[in-house]
Structures are given as structure tokens and as C-alpha cells.
Amino acid sequence: MAEVHVHYDLNEKYTFTPELKKKLMIGMGVGLVLLILGVILAYAGIGFGHHEAHEAGKAAQEATKHAEGGHHGATPLTRLWANLWLNGVFFTYIAAMGVLFVAIQYVAYAGWSATIRRVAEAFGAFLPFTAPVLLITFFLGGHDLFHWTHHDLYEKGKATYDPIIAGKSGFFFFPLEAGSFPLFWLLRLVAFIGIWYVLYRVLIKNSVAEDYLTDKTDFSYHKRNITIGAIFVVFFGLSESVSAWDWVMSIDTHWYSTMFGWYVFASSWVSALAVLTLAVVFLKEKGYLKMVNENHLHDLGKFMFAFSIFWTYIWFAQYMLQAYSNIPEEIEYWVARHDGLEGVYSPMIVMNVIINFLFPFLFLMTRDAKRKEIFLKITAFGILMGHYLDFFVMVMPGTVKGNGGFFLMEIGTLMLFACAFVYVFATQLSKQGLIAKNHPMMEESLHHSI
Amino acid sequence: MAASKEPKKYLVGIYDHEDKVVEAVKKVQKDGVKVEEVYSPHPIHHIDTYIGHPRTRIPIAAFMFGATGTILAITMIVFMMKIDWPMIIGGKNPLYPPTMVPVTFEATVLICALGMVATFLITNNMGPGKVEFMFDRRTTDDKYALVVDLEKNTKSAEEISQILIKYGAETTPPPRIVEKS
């Protein structure tokens, strides 16, 4: 309800201060140290597997469940690969979902988000950093992470021959021989992230070029981006689903869920919205984005609220049908996350629903909560942690089995990735104006009111 | 029908454009006229805050009805599946929590929606068989009516009429007094 037309500084630029750079560098350093420390300690038997019982503080209740039992040879190194893979996938999706947000704003002709578009645009810059992490992790630790990479599964007549996985081999190894080099799988990984990134660069290029227009009625860049956005939305909708099967579902090779693509989408989309909200709120606190008022925040809050419920719907639909029908090939996935594997993951799956559903549902329900920065900050942070946990529960049981847990290695990797993400994000943000000032619907965004 | 009450007098100014009526609401109040209500053929964004209406409490009603639905559903399921006729389906405990969720969800949404509609109809004196009093029939077509309760204003009808006209009310016919019992 801006009664008086306030003139905002649309030319403002974000400066990535040396202090923040230093802090993030320290954060990455600490993360790396914790990660290495975690690996060393894990080899020494601290914070890993059976030996957790000897450790005083952390996860005592978990440790009691660690009765002697046959783990499937998960070494501390497996846990390192799993952590790298988990964070790589999680942050790839967050980065890609930022691009999706921008693309959707274009395709939907959305005006409200014009002032925060640049913030979402900066997400995609992290894609070229996560893609190598995924590739390197796969080449170094693929055998530990992915059961389907073992070639003896595909040799007929051998005791290890697995007809179910052999039936799925084309999905991984096409056109090569089953059990050799997963060309099709790797090509998809490279192609998906590559195409997302290329489309992202085109979006950015047009978006920045729009800033230098002298003719304010020239919408050609915007129109071009609507086309690119439409292409991205369609391509991403298809490829994200397949990538979720590739990167996450294939860890539990026998298991399948037809909802998995949307499930991963819902989880990472709401995470990206949480990151976007956090970024906008922090930028506002630093004195940027003066034109973003509680109405824009309300929209972001509604997004988080709505997609938290969407995630719950997908998660629950997937869970209930499989838990109720109790088919062996489906239920093994959930057994591993409940009482199986000595129940390591059973508190996590309960926490998953509480943090990702009950917490945002009750916390963000009122209109006032969605309009206050402090509420949004708390919920966004909670949701982000909750969905990291969701990915954790997706990746860990299938890779490190009962040797999982949350200790130095997990904290270190998460810190490393989070600080790197913020670093790349802030660098990208400082490259051009913080506001897409020649956005055709800028006025609408400035007067946005709900 | 308690029709023995004295009819209340309202002054109705007619406007022919949304922008005019929104401007009038803001400016008329600055001149000290208390606006009762604005009638429009379509919803006008934020008109309630311009008039100074308190925020709707329907979300609170919605939450209450929703909570009622949740409790009702859980009570129903527990009664049916545990007390009255326990059934084991798919080898699961009769009160296997995930299976309670869909019914609970549906009952929550149903009671919430029906309750909200009922609350809305009752508070607005609407519903089947009720005929809404209209200050001006043209507000269902292409006119906007700004209604002023004369009892709540200290100014005379003439003065208010002048103010309404000053901010764009139609002069042919000028704002008129409508009685509502």
C-alpha cells in the first residue's frame, strides 16, 4: 500500500565484502579440517559404526542399538564418498532449482518477483562446481556408493548374478555391455547439468543485457528469456525426474518408486525456496533490496508453506502405499530406514516429517508469520536443515548401511559445501546490478501488495 | 421478524469507476466522514483496509474448524478400528498411524471448508432464501456505491453529500438517502 511513490535506487550493486570472503574461506577451511578429522577419527574407530559405543557424548542412544551385526563392509571411505555425493546432489539441485525459479517467473509472466530475480539468478553459478564433485566422487567412490556398478551382478551363471539388476542394466550401461562402463548413466549426468547450465547462462546473458537497454519499451530480451524459460521448464521437468532416479534412487538398486522424481523435486524445490528466502532476508538486513517489502516476503513465505505441504503429500503418498502393501521388493527400502540397520535411521525419518511438515505448517500458518523476517529466517533455516536430513535419509542407508550417523564428517562436508555455495552465490551476485532494473514488470513489483 | 425497529438512514454516493471510489474512500475519510461500506460489482484490492474495517477473523474460524475435523476423524477411526470392530488389514495394527492420515486429512479439509462457508454466510446474513438488502441495484452491474451511516457521523447529510460530490460522486442524481430497517 505505497501511498506515496517512493523512488528506490534500482542501480544498487551488491559488494562482496572482504570480511565476508574471509569468513566464508574460514568456514570452508574449518569444514575441510572437520571432514579430514572425521575421516581420520573414523579410521581410528571414533564416531563410526560399532565403535560408537565407546564414544561418550554424541548419539548414545544410537550406539546402544549398534549390536554386533553383519554390516556390508562399509568403510569410513564409503561414508566420505556418500557425504560428498549427498552434498553434491543436494547443492546441484538447489542451484538448478534457483534457475527453475527464474524460468518459472518468466514463463508465468510474474511481476511480483522482478526485484528479487537477480538473487535467484545467482544460484545457478554453483552448477559447474558441483558437477565435477559428482563426477570425481563417482569415479573414485562409485563402487562403494552404487551397488549396480559391480560387474559380477551381470554375469549369468555366477552366484552373484542378480536378475533384477541385470534387467535394469540398459539404463546404466547402454550402449556398452552390462557391467562395463556406465556410459549412458554418465552421459545423462553430464548432459543434464550441462544443458541446465547452458540454458542458465543464456538466461543470465539476456537478463544482464536488459540492464543496459536505453529504450525502456524494448522487451526483446525479456521475450527471448520467456522462450528460454519455457524450454528450461520443460527440459528440467523431464530431466530432473530422470536425474533423481540416476543419482539417488539407483543407490537402492532393487527398489523403485514411481513418485521418486517428484519427491526429490519437492524436497529440493522447497530447499531452494528456503535458500532464496534466507538470501533475500539477509540482503535486506545488510541494507540492500529496500524495495522488497513484507508483501514480497509474504509470497516467499507462502511458497515455503505450500511446498512444505506439497513435499509432505508426496512423501506420505510414497510411504503409505509401500508400507501398507508390504511387498518385499518395496518394503526393504523402508525397513532399512526403520528398524533395519539397527535402527540408525529411525529417529531421522521421524524428525524428517516433524521438521519438514509439522514445523513449517504450524509456524508459517498465520499471515503475520509469513510477513515477519525473523519467522521466515527461522522457518527457512529449519526447512533447509530438514531437507538436508531428507536427502541424508535417501542416500545414507543404501550406501553406508548401519555405519551412518551424524558426526564430524557430515558437519564438515555440509559446512564446506554451504560456504562454497554462498561464496559462489555472492560472487555471481556482485557481478551485475542487484536489481533487474529494466524488467518490464518492475513497477508491478514495486507496488506489489497482498 | 423484528421489524419494529426504527429504520436507519444511509447516504449513498454513486461512482462510475473503481479508481474514483478508491480515491473517494481515502479522501472522504480525511475530511472527517466515516465510511460504512463500499459496494462494487467486483472485489477491490485493499478496499477493506482503506475503509478501516478490522481484519477478517475467518482464518481463526478455519483453524478451529480444521482442528475440530482432525479430532473428529481421529475419534471416529479409533472408535471404529479399535473399540467397535477391530480389523487387521494387511497385517498391520488396527491403529497403524499412516493409514489414519488420509481420512484425517479429508475430514479436516471437509469440516474446515464447510465451517468456513457457514461462518461466512452467517456473519454476512447470506444464505438460501435470504434476500440481501441493496442500497443500489446498479452495484451488481457497473456502478460503485459508497455508503455512509448518517448516525455514526456528526456532519449533516448535506455536508457529506457535498464532500462525496467533491471527490467524484455522480451528481445526476446526487447522493441520496436510503433507509434500511
Reported ipTM: 0.83
Tell whether A366 is within 8 A of chain B (Cβ).
yes
Tell whether A327 is within 8 A of chain B (Cβ).
no
Banded model confidence at residue A63, pLDDT cuts 50, 70, 90:
very low
Banded model confidence at residue A372, pLDDT cuts 50, 70, 90:
very high
Banded model confidence at residue A363, pLDDT cuts 50, 70, 90:
very high
Residue A175: pLDDT over 70: yes
Name the DSSP class of B140.
G
pLDDT digits (tens, 9 = 90+) for B101-126: 999 999 999 999 999 999 999 988 88
Given this model, what pLDDT does residue A69 score? 36
Subunit contact A326:B46, Cβ cutoff 8 A: no
Residue A35 within a domain:
yes
Which pLDDT tens digits describe chain B residue by residue (181 residues)?
455 578 889 999 999 999 999 999 999 999 889 999 999 999 998 899 999 999 889 999 999 999 999 999 999 999 999 999 998 887 888 898 888 999 999 999 999 999 999 999 998 888 888 888 889 999 999 999 999 999 888 888 889 999 999 998 888 888 888 888 7
Given this model, what pLDDT does residue B4 score? 58
Residue A403 within a domain:
yes
pLDDT, average across residues A62-71: 39
- Beta strands B37-39 and B8-15, pairing class: unpaired
Residue A119 within a domain:
yes
Q: How many domains does chain A have?
A: 1
Given this model, what pLDDT does residue A53 score? 40
CATH class, domain B8-54+133-180, is: alpha beta
- Beta strands B144-149 and B176-180, pairing class: unpaired
Q: Which residues contact B5 (CB under 8 A, 6 or more apart)?
A: B181
Residue A315 within a domain:
yes
Residue A174 within a domain:
no
Domain that holds residue A108: 18-66+77-146+182-446
In 3D, which of A48, A86, A99, A137 has the Cα closest to residue A388?
A: A86
Residue A407: pLDDT over 60: yes
Given this model, what pLDDT does residue A75 score? 82
Helices (H), chain B: 18-30, 47-51, 58-78, 97-123, 157-166
Residue A337: pLDDT over 80: yes
pLDDT digits (tens, 9 = 90+) for A189-241: 999 999 999 999 999 999 999 999 988 888 999 999 999 999 999 999 999 99
Percentage with pLDDT > 90 across chain A: 69
Mutate to test the interface with B, among A321, A324, A448 (most CBs of B within 10 A): A324
pLDDT digits (tens, 9 = 90+) for A267-295: 999 999 999 999 999 999 999 999 999 99
Subunit contact A323:B63, Cβ cutoff 8 A: no
Residue A392 within a domain:
yes
Location of each CATH 3.30.70 domain in chain B: 8-54+133-180
Subunit contact B99:A320, Cβ cutoff 8 A: yes
Subunit contact B98:A1, Cβ cutoff 8 A: no
Banded model confidence at residue A4, pLDDT cuts 50, 70, 90:
low
Percentage with pLDDT > 70 across chain A: 93
Average pLDDT of chain B to the nearest whole number: 90
Residue A71 within a domain:
no
Residue A305 within a domain:
yes
Subunit contact B101:A316, Cβ cutoff 8 A: yes
